[in-house]
Amino acid sequence: MDQEAHYFSWGDQTGDEGDMYEYLFRKMPPRINATLSSKRYLLVVEDLYEPIKPAKDISKAVGQEDDVEHWHRVALRCFHYALLLFPQRHEPPNADKNNGVNVTKEELIRHWAAQGFLTASNSPRAAQENMIHNMGIRHHDDVYQVGNIILQTFQDYSLLKLPFSPTTETDEPIETAAHFLAYHCLIVEHHTQDRIFHEWLQNKIGWIKLDCNKGMEDRGWHVSRNWLSKEEPNGLTSLILRGCSNKSNWFTELDHLLPKLPSLLVLRLSYIPLESVPHSVWCLPNIQFLSLRGCYNLTNLSSSSSSERTASQEDSNTKINLLYLDLSYSGINSFQCVLFQNMPLLQELVLVKCDNLLELPTSITALSSLIKLEINGTQIKYFPKNMFKDMQSLQSIKLTDNKKLMDEIRMAMHPTLKSFLLINAPHIRHLSLQGCRKLEHVELRDLGALEELDLSATAIKELPAEIPNLPQLRQLLLMGVSSLSRFPWHKLQRFPDMFCLDCCAQGNVISIAPPIRQTKRDVEMSATNRYPYGLYSLLQVAKSISLTDDIYVSCLTNLSSFNKLEDCKLRSCHHMKHVLEYAYSMGQSLQNVRVSQLKSLIHFYKPLEYSDTSNFDSLKHLHLEYCPRLERIVPQRDGDGSLSMRLQELPLLQHLRDDVNAAISAPAWKELHVRGCWSLRRLPLLSREHSSQAVEVSGERAWWRKLIWDDDSSTMHSASYKSKLPLPFASFNKRAPVVSYLR
């Protein structure tokens, strides 16, 4: 016979007099004794008026050791609320078709944040490393940091662990305090829906969960206000309906019930037969968390019903204060066009296993506060134009199992992106995250068609082995990735045709690409046939042009004189031999040029007349890469503005100017970045009157050592250039054979 006694110690409450004292010392002991009368448990309740030790650890971790009382109250609220979300002993199984147990860490923290638990009572102490230091912990990152700290502390003290699996009759509920309390329903009370409705009318309930199961009576759970502090707001703040049938009283009366809940912060309607969202949902003044997970009959999300939708409502300026929206496992296939325009504060949008979703509305670009976006298992082929560009607060993107997605994803220079995940998108061919300087984590898998990947100028520290081994990847760019500390050489199974790896030395990053802009007069062209003659006049006034995948144009100026052109981008124009043959007007306006993968290009500028003296006085950035036949550049320039030039993989380039003895003005040339131009053995002379201003040059050490300087003015010639070379350990001999990828 097993004589082992089980010990449980559950923390304290703050020293509230009156109702709390009555509840703890008069009402609770009889309930505990009745529940445990036939069990071998010893429940130890001690130090009811002193903060529990986990609260001290939490307050220390967030940098507020002087405010233990506050974090004690926070810990209690978070623990009680988690118990409400977890399945109880008498709760019907499979209420949400997912066993009701998979409450994820992220979802639990979202609930806590929406309830306002994860905030500081005052400004934390001075910022210290690895501690929370934003005022009031109001920022999104801080909310998740605090939530993770609390969960880790709960786990360390065996209060609760995720994932949470409810204890069965045959198991002893001894794994954590949460298992014990949920099994014996000591915190979360179980009542009929009529009893809960009565308690709510008397303002005794702050959080309600209702579960319904086919063939069973509707069941409800709630956390009594006796367990909560007097600081809790009056009125219901959390309502969770799960698995209700269309005959349930709560379901049929939902649209009439919601207007009576002005304090509601969290509304979770899971696995119920909703065909449309009740209009009263959008009128809740304080709603922050809305989950419609598993609503399989919901096909369209609109802020008004079809009978109510008018032109005035479509253009309504009514704003919804939602922070979190979850539509996972629903039947959604479309959205009201202007829906997201009314959600300016939305921070997280979760669309997991939305199998019928065909497209996103253009209004999604209005989500300027969006921080996390997760799209999984949809039928989406293309995203709205400039969707990611307009989301200037976005930090995390997860795109998985969107097997029909065909869009090119280009997020160059995104200012806030930290994490990007793209899995099982077999039709994606081009992906560019170039210039996302906060991007630290990238995961790319099952991308069978991906050909070009640009991760230049990011903060990636380690490259996953799956990326260079992608089966169709032919171009991988890792330029200016100064944080990269490890490359998976030992796991390589294949190697891209074009691979560039460059870790800039000592933080001296030279601009890796000209900032090609899309102006108000922008023209994008891509064609394999002749262009209509009417384009000539249009292109004369165009300010920016992008020409890609062309097999017709042999010279850009054959299309027009481009009198107003400022920004020019040319890629994969394989018939083009010269970019420009005259530049009388264009030379005074052209600012940024990027030329890439022009296999037939011989000259950047080849004047038709020998006497042509056109100058490119406004040119600021010139980027030429992967042009295997390029021999000359010749951008004559006398302006005072600075010029940055990048030359990459131009094996036949020998001179920058036709007139090798011509001197150019140093102030007109600021930076030169050279990679893979081994035939370029001599740099131009710089004019003597500006000899004190040297041009910064970044290139391979082997290339720099073999440069030829003028005999008669070697000191003057070489002193005009200042080298910014890779560190010695990052340099290599261009003729060194690779015999093994093993370490």
Distance CA 206, CA 719 (A): 76
Question: Residue 213: its pLDDT value, please?
Answer: 56
Distance CA 143, CA 121 (A): 14
- pLDDT per residue over 424-437, tens digit each? 999 999 999 999 99
Q: Is the pLDDT of residue 743 over 60?
A: no
Question: Residue 532: its pLDDT value, please?
Answer: 57
- Confidence label for 123 from pLDDT (cuts 50, 70 and 90): very low
What does the chain come to in residues?
743
Distance CA 631, CA 628 (A): 9
Q: Is the pLDDT of residue 382 over 80?
A: yes
- Residue 209's closest CA among 238, 174, 180? 238
Question: Residue 215: its pLDDT value, please?
Answer: 47
Least confident of 113-117, 615-619, 700-704: 615-619
* Arithmetic mean of pLDDT, 314-334: 82
Exposed/middle/buried for 740, CB within 10 Å: 0-12, 13-18, 19+?
exposed
Question: Residue 62: its pLDDT value, please?
Answer: 81
Buried b / exposed e across 632-663, counting CB within 10 Å, b at 16+? bbbbbbebeeebbbbbbbbeebebbbeeeeee
- Residue 614's closest CA among 639, 640, 588? 588
* Arithmetic mean of pLDDT, 332-351: 91
Paired strand residues for 9 = 44
* Arithmetic mean of pLDDT, 140-153: 84
Q: Is the pLDDT of residue 423 over 70?
A: yes
- Confidence label for 137 from pLDDT (cuts 50, 70 and 90): very low
Contact between residue 62 and residue 149 where contact means Cβ atoms under 8 Å apart: yes
Contact between residue 653 and residue 683 where contact means Cβ atoms under 8 Å apart: no
Instruction: Measure Cα distances from 398 to 301, 349, 373, 617 in Å.
Output: 22, 11, 6, 45
Least confident of 79-93, 186-200, 529-543: 186-200
| Domains in the chain: boundaries | 45-88+102-121+137-160, 408-415+428-508, 520-742
Exposed/middle/buried for 12, CB within 10 Å: 0-12, 13-18, 19+?
middle
Q: Cα dihedral sign for 114, 118, 123, 125?
A: negative
Helix, strand, coil tally for the chain in percent (to 5): 20, 20, 60
Q: What is the pTM of this model?
A: 0.65
- Confidence label for 89 from pLDDT (cuts 50, 70 and 90): low
Residues 6+ apart with CB under 8 A from 289: 110, 111, 114, 265, 266, 267, 268, 322, 323, 324
User: Of the segments 395-399, 615-619, 654-658, which one has the largest average pLDDT value?
Assistant: 395-399
- pLDDT per residue over 693-717, tens digit each? 788 888 888 898 888 887 555 557 7
- Confidence label for 94 from pLDDT (cuts 50, 70 and 90): very low
Mean pLDDT value across the chain: 76
Residue 427's H or E segment, with its range, is none
Distance CA 667, CA 690 (A): 7
Tokens 């481009």: give the residue: 562
Residues 6+ apart with CB under 8 A from 451: 429, 430, 472, 473, 474, 475
CA angle 19, 20, 25 (to 5 degrees): 105
Tokens 């990735």: give the residue: 481
- pLDDT per residue over 159-184, tens digit each? 888 887 776 665 666 778 887 877 77
Relative to beta strand 409-410, strand 396-400 is: unpaired
Q: Is the pLDDT of residue 507 over 60?
A: no
Question: Residue 623: its pLDDT value, please?
Answer: 92
* Arithmetic mean of pLDDT, 569-598: 86
Q: Is the pLDDT of residue 516 over 80?
A: no
Q: Bigger pLDDT: 572 or 527?
A: 572
Residues 6+ apart with CB under 8 A from 442: 419, 420, 421, 433, 455, 458, 460, 463, 464, 467
Contact between residue 288 and residue 321 where contact means Cβ atoms under 8 Å apart: yes
Tokens 């006049």: give the residue: 537
Question: Residue 329: its pLDDT value, please?
Answer: 93
Q: Bigger pLDDT: 478 or 187?
A: 478
- pLDDT per residue over 273-297, tens digit each? 888 898 889 889 889 999 999 998 9
What region does 608 belong to: left with phi over 0, alpha with psi -120 to 50, or beta? alpha
Q: Bigger pLDDT: 585 or 551?
A: 551
Question: Percentage of the chain with pLDDT > 90?
Answer: 22
Question: Residue 309: its pLDDT value, please?
Answer: 43
Q: Is the pLDDT of residue 101 over 50?
A: no
Q: Is the pLDDT of residue 584 over 50?
A: yes
- Which residue blocks in 311-467 are alpha helix, DSSP H? 311-314, 387-390
Question: Residue 129: its pLDDT value, please?
Answer: 33
User: Of the segments 8-17, 202-211, 257-266, 442-451, which one has the largest average pLDDT value?
Assistant: 442-451
Question: Residue 733: its pLDDT value, please?
Answer: 53
Angle at which helix 53-61 crosses helix 140-156, to 10 degrees, equals 150
